[in-house]
Chains A and B, each alone.
Chain A
Amino acid sequence: MKRKYAVAAIATAAALVLAGCSSTGGDAASTESAKGQDITLWLMGGDTPDTLRDYLKTEYKKATGGTLKIEEQGWGDAVAKLTTALPDAANTPDVTEIGNTWSPTFTNAGAFTDLSDMYDELGGDKLLKSFVEVGEVDGKQYALPYYFGSRYNFYRKDIWSAAGKTVPTTLAEFDETVKSLKTDTQSGFYIGGSDWRNGISWIFANGGDLAKKDGDKWVGTLASDETVKGLTEFQSLFEGASLAPATEFDSTPWVNINNNEATGVPEAATIIAPGWAHWSIGDLAPDPKDATKTVATWNDDTFGTFVLPGVDGGAAPVFAGGSNIAVSAASKNQAGAKELMKIIFSEDYQTLLGENGLGPANLDYASALGDDQFAKALVESAAGSKLTPAAPGWAAVEGAGILEEFFGKVSAGGDVKALATEYDEKLDKLLN
C-alpha cells in the first residue's frame, strides 16, 4: 500500500514539475515533427484483435518511422493504473483507450490533450455522438469514440420451442416468458444479481436514470419513481428467472447457455451479453490445438438472438458499451500520438474494426459490420442504447463498486425504495 502511494506521490511530483512543458508542442501536429517518435498505446483487455494491433504498428512505422508499442491493461484495475500513470510524463502512455463511462472523469481532471483542432479531420459529426459527448468539456473534444458494442439476448431455440414460447415483443412479455422457463437446475434468464451493466436496461426502459444534472451539480436519481419501478421489475425478474447468486457481477454468462460438459444440458435458456460473446456460444467440441480447451461453433438450429424489447415494444435502451480513445496531456510525443489518432480514424482501420465485430467510431463505416444476425442485432440494440451519466466523478462510482453493491442488495430482496434513497446519498458524494 505504502509503495503504491509512493508511486502516486512521485507521479504527482513529476506532474507538477512537468505541467509547464506538457502544454507546449501540441499545436503543430504535422507528420514532420512526428518523425521517429517511439510511442506507447494502452489497450484495455483483449477486445482489439491481434490483426488490428499489427495493422496499427505497421502503419505507424510507415507514417513516422517510429515504433508503436502496444501494452494491454486489464479492465479490472485500469482506472487505478490510469490515475497513477497519466499524470507522469515519464510513464504515461501516449495514447490510451479508456472505458467510455470513465471519459468525463479523466477529461474533467485535465488528463487529455485538446483534440478539437483535428476533430473534423478525424471524422467530426460522423463520429458516434453519445461517445463524443462524454469526452467533451466546454465544447472541446478531449476523448473520442474508439469502438462501440451493445448488449442483446442469446437464447436456446430448442428450450424455448419445446415450451411453446416465441420471441417476446414487449419487456413485460420477456419477463414473463423467462420466468416460466426457470426450473430447479435451469435459469430462464441467467443474470448475476449485481450485474448492473445489464440490469440498468430495466431502469432505462422504464424511463429512469442513475443520476441527473441539477443546476451545476450531479445528483443520484435511484429513488425517482421511474427508476424504482425499473428496479422493482428487475428484482422480480431476478428472483423469478435467475439461479445466479445475488452477489455475482461481471460474469461470463455464455458458459451457462452452452451445454454443460458434465450434465450435457445448458444451465440457462436465455442470457444477455455483449455482441462479441457469440464467438463463445455454440456446440462445444475439443480444441484441436489444445486438448484442455473447447471451441464453440454457432448452431442456428439451437441458438438464436433477439434484441431486448422495450416496455411498449421496439428495442429497450440497453447500456452502450464501448471505449473512447485519447491522447495523454503529459505525453512528450504529442505529434506522434496525433499521427496514431489519424491512423485509427482512417477508413481502413474503421473498416477493420467493423469486420471484427466492433462497432466503428465513424458511423459511415458501420456497414463493415456485415449483415448477419449479429450485426443486425448490434445495430438495432445500439440505436436506442444509453450511456451512464457524464458526471465528473463517474469513474469513482465505478471504481468503488457502489452499483454492484446496490444491485446486489436489490436482487437479494431488499426494500427497493429504502435502498435507493441510501445509495443516492453515496452517489451524491462521489459524482461531483
Chain B
Amino acid sequence: MTATLTRDAPAAAPKPPAQRPRRRLSVPHLLLIPAIVILLVGMGYPLIWQIVTSMQEFGIKQQFGQPAPFVGLANYFSLATDPTMWEVVVRSIAFCFITAAVTLVVGLLLAVLMTAVGTVVRLILQISLLLAWAMPVVAAMTVWIWLFDRRRGVVNYLLDMIPGVDMNRFSWLSTPITFFIVASVIVIWMSVPFVAFSVYAGLTQVSEEVLEAAQLDGANGVKRLRYIIMPMIRPVIMIVLLLQLIWDLRVFTQITMLQDAGSKSSEYDLLGTYIYKLGAGSQDFGMASAVSIFVLALTLAISWFYVRSLLKEDEQS
C-alpha cells in the first residue's frame, strides 16, 4: 500500500517546480524502512552468506572455527563435472514439470467442476479441498506412507483384488520410477487445492454477459472455455503455474520422508535432498551452498517465461 502511495502521490498532485528538490524524507519513505531492513536481514544476509560460502572450502573444521580458504569457483567446477549432480538436476526438472503440469490440469478441471455444480456439492468439494490443503505435511505423509506400505498398505491390497494383478507386497519405494510416481501423487494431492481455489476465484470474475453473448453467437461449451474463459483467466493460470514449478523444484519434506521409508540412495534424490545430504549430511557446506546458488539460478531461468510475458503485456498496454 505504501509503495503505491509514494509512487502515485506526486503524479496526482499539481507540480510546483520551486518545491521539486525535496531533501526531507517523507513519511511514506520512513514507513518503508522497517520492511526494507527486514527484507535485507532476512533474505539478503543468508543469500550473501551463501554466495560467499559457495566460494569457500567450508567443511566441519570451518564450522568449528577454523578459517575457510577461498577457492573461487572451484566448487562450481567440481559440480559441473559431477555426473551425479546432473542426474539430480535432470530428475528434478522432469519431476517438477510433470508434477506441476498434472497439478494444473487437475486443479483446472476441479475449478470448472465447482462452477458447474450446485451450492451443496460445491461446498462439500471446497471443504474437502481445504482440508487437504490445511493438513500438516508430516501428518499427511505418515498416512500416505501407510497407504503405500509394502505389506499392509491399502493400495497394494486393493490392486491385488483386481483379477490377474499381482501386487501382493509390491515395494513401491524400492525402484526410482515407482518412488517418484508415489512422490508425484502426494505432491499433486497437496497442491491441487491451491490451484483449484485460485482458478475458481478467476472463473468467478468472468462476466456472465460476455459468456451469454458468445452463447448467442453460437459458441458451444468447449469453444467458450477455449476462446473466452481461458484467455480471461490466463494471468491467474500463469502465476499459479509459476508458483507450482518453483515449489515442485524445491520439494523437500515429502521426498525426505519417503526416503526414510524407502531408500536413501542417490537415485532417489531431488535437488532439495541432494543439498541437504551434501550440507547437513556430509558436512560440505561449501558445495551445498554452490548447489543452492545453482538452484536459485535455475528457478530464475524457469520463471523467465513469466517475467517476459509480463513485460510483453506492459508493452501492449
Most buried by A among B65, B272, B283: B65
Q: How far is the CA of A360 from the CA of B131 in the complex (A)?
A: 50
Closest to A77 in B: B280
Q: How far is the CA of A57 from the CA of B106 in the complex (A)?
A: 56
Of the candidates A12, A109, A247, which one forms a contact with B262 in the assembled complex, judged by CB atoms under 8 Å apart? A247
Of the candidates B43, B174, B264, B279, which one forms a contact with A401 in the assembled complex, judged by CB atoms under 8 Å apart? B264
Q: How far is the CA of A408 from the CA of B292 in the complex (A)?
A: 28
A1-17 interface code vs B (CB 8 A; 1 in, 0 out): 11111101101100110
Whether B260 sits at the interface, judged by CB under 8 Å, is yes
Of the candidates B46, B62, B171, B282, which one forms a contact with A2 in the assembled complex, judged by CB atoms under 8 Å apart? B46
B22-45 interface code vs A (CB 8 A; 1 in, 0 out): 000000000000000000000101
**Are the CB atoms of B266 and A9 closer together than 8 Å?**
no
Q: How far is the CA of A395 from the CA of B63 in the complex (A)?
A: 14
A392-412 interface code vs B (CB 8 A; 1 in, 0 out): 000111011100110011000
Q: How far is the CA of A411 from the CA of B313 in the complex (A)?
A: 57
Q: Quote the shortest CB–CB distance from A192 to chain B (angstroms).
A: 10
- When A5-B53, A396-B60 are in contact, do A19 and B277 touch as well, CB less than 8 Å? no
**Are the CB atoms of B277 and A9 closer together than 8 Å?**
no
Residues of A close to B64: CB separation below 8 A: 15, 86-87, 109-111
Closest to A260 in B: B151
- In residues 1-43 of chain A, which contact B (Cβ within 8 Å)? 1-6, 8-9, 11-12, 15-16, 19
Closest to A400 in B: B282
A91-114 interface code vs B (CB 8 A; 1 in, 0 out): 000000000000001101111000
Closest to B260 in A: A76
Q: How far is the CA of A408 from the CA of B53 in the complex (A)?
A: 33
Residues of B close to A430: CB separation below 8 A: 282
Of the candidates A9, A111, A247, A396, which one forms a contact with B46 in the assembled complex, judged by CB atoms under 8 Å apart? A9
Q: How far is the CA of A395 from the CA of B283 in the complex (A)?
A: 9
- When A15-B64, A83-B60, A86-B64 are in contact, do A405 and B282 touch as well, CB less than 8 Å? no
Q: Quote the shortest CB–CB distance from A37 to chain B (angstroms).
A: 23
Q: How far is the CA of A8 from the CA of B45 in the complex (A)?
A: 12
Can you spell out 13 A-B residue pairs with CB atoms less than 8 angstroms apart? A5-B285, A6-B45, A12-B65, A79-B281, A87-B63, A105-B60, A109-B63, A110-B65, A194-B264, A245-B173, A247-B174, A395-B60, A399-B282
**Are the CB atoms of B61 and A1 closer together than 8 Å?**
no
Residues of A close to B199: CB separation below 8 A: none
Residues on A lying within 8 angstroms of B by beta carbon are 1-6, 8-9, 11-12, 15-16, 19, 76-77, 79-80, 83-84, 86-87, 105-106, 108-111, 194, 245-247, 249, 262, 395-397, 399-401, 404-405, 408-409, 430
Q: How far is the CA of A270 from the CA of B63 in the complex (A)?
A: 44
Closest to B291 in A: A1
Most buried by B among A8, A111, A430: A8
**A interface, by DSSP: helix, strand, loop or mixed?**
helix
Whether B299 sits at the interface, judged by CB under 8 Å, is no
Further 9 A-B residue pairs, CB within 8 A, beyond A86-B64, A105-B60, A106-B60: A2-B47, A76-B260, A80-B280, A83-B283, A245-B150, A245-B171, A249-B263, A399-B280, A408-B265
Q: How far is the CA of A200 from the CA of B66 in the complex (A)?
A: 34
Whether B252 sits at the interface, judged by CB under 8 Å, is yes
Residues of A close to B277: CB separation below 8 A: 399-401
B48-88 interface code vs A (CB 8 A; 1 in, 0 out): 01100100000011111110000000000000000000000
Residues of A close to B289: CB separation below 8 A: 5
Q: How far is the CA of A3 from the CA of B280 in the complex (A)?
A: 13
Most buried by A among B49, B173, B285: B49
Of the candidates A4, A16, A79, A110, which one forms a contact with B61 in the assembled complex, judged by CB atoms under 8 Å apart? A110
**Are the CB atoms of A6 and B60 closer together than 8 Å?**
no
**Are the CB atoms of B281 and A405 closer together than 8 Å?**
no
Q: How far is the CA of A247 from the CA of B268 in the complex (A)?
A: 11
Residues of B close to A108: CB separation below 8 A: 61
Closest to A11 in B: B63
Residues of A close to B279: CB separation below 8 A: 4-5
Whether B284 sits at the interface, judged by CB under 8 Å, is yes
**Are the CB atoms of B265 and A401 closer together than 8 Å?**
yes
Question: What are the 5 tightest A-B residue pairs by CB atom distance, in nearest-first order?
Answer: A247-B263, A80-B280, A399-B281, A396-B282, A401-B264
Whether B276 sits at the interface, judged by CB under 8 Å, is yes
Residues of A close to B50: CB separation below 8 A: 2, 5
Q: Quote the shortest CB–CB distance from A321 to chain B (angstroms).
A: 19
**Are the CB atoms of A1 and B272 closer together than 8 Å?**
yes
Q: Quote the shortest CB–CB distance from A374 to chain B (angstroms).
A: 28
- When A2-B46, A5-B49, A76-B260 are in contact, do A247 and B265 touch as well, CB less than 8 Å? yes
Residues of A close to B280: CB separation below 8 A: 4, 77, 79-80, 83-84, 399
Residues of B close to A79: CB separation below 8 A: 280-281, 283
Residues of B close to A396: CB separation below 8 A: 60, 281-284
Q: How far is the CA of A205 from the CA of B138 in the complex (A)?
A: 41
Residues of A close to B173: CB separation below 8 A: 245, 247
Whether B275 sits at the interface, judged by CB under 8 Å, is yes
Closest to A185 in B: B169
Q: Quote the shortest CB–CB distance from A18 to chain B (angstroms).
A: 9
Residues of B close to A246: CB separation below 8 A: 174
Closest to A2 in B: B46
Residues of A close to B263: CB separation below 8 A: 194, 247, 249, 404-405, 408
Q: How far is the CA of A110 from the CA of B47 in the complex (A)?
A: 28
**Are the CB atoms of B264 and A249 closer together than 8 Å?**
yes
Q: How far is the CA of A66 from the CA of B174 in the complex (A)?
A: 50
**Are the CB atoms of A16 and B65 closer together than 8 Å?**
yes
Q: Quote the shortest CB–CB distance from B282 to chain A (angstroms).
A: 4
Q: How far is the CA of A194 from the CA of B266 in the complex (A)?
A: 13
Residues of A close to B264: CB separation below 8 A: 194, 249, 401, 404-405
Most buried by A among B53, B174, B252, B289: B174
Residues of B close to A3: CB separation below 8 A: 46
Residues of B close to A408: CB separation below 8 A: 263, 265
Q: Quote the shortest CB–CB distance from B209 to chain A (angstroms).
A: 47
Of the candidates B49, B150, B262, B278, which one forms a contact with A6 in the assembled complex, judged by CB atoms under 8 Å apart? B49
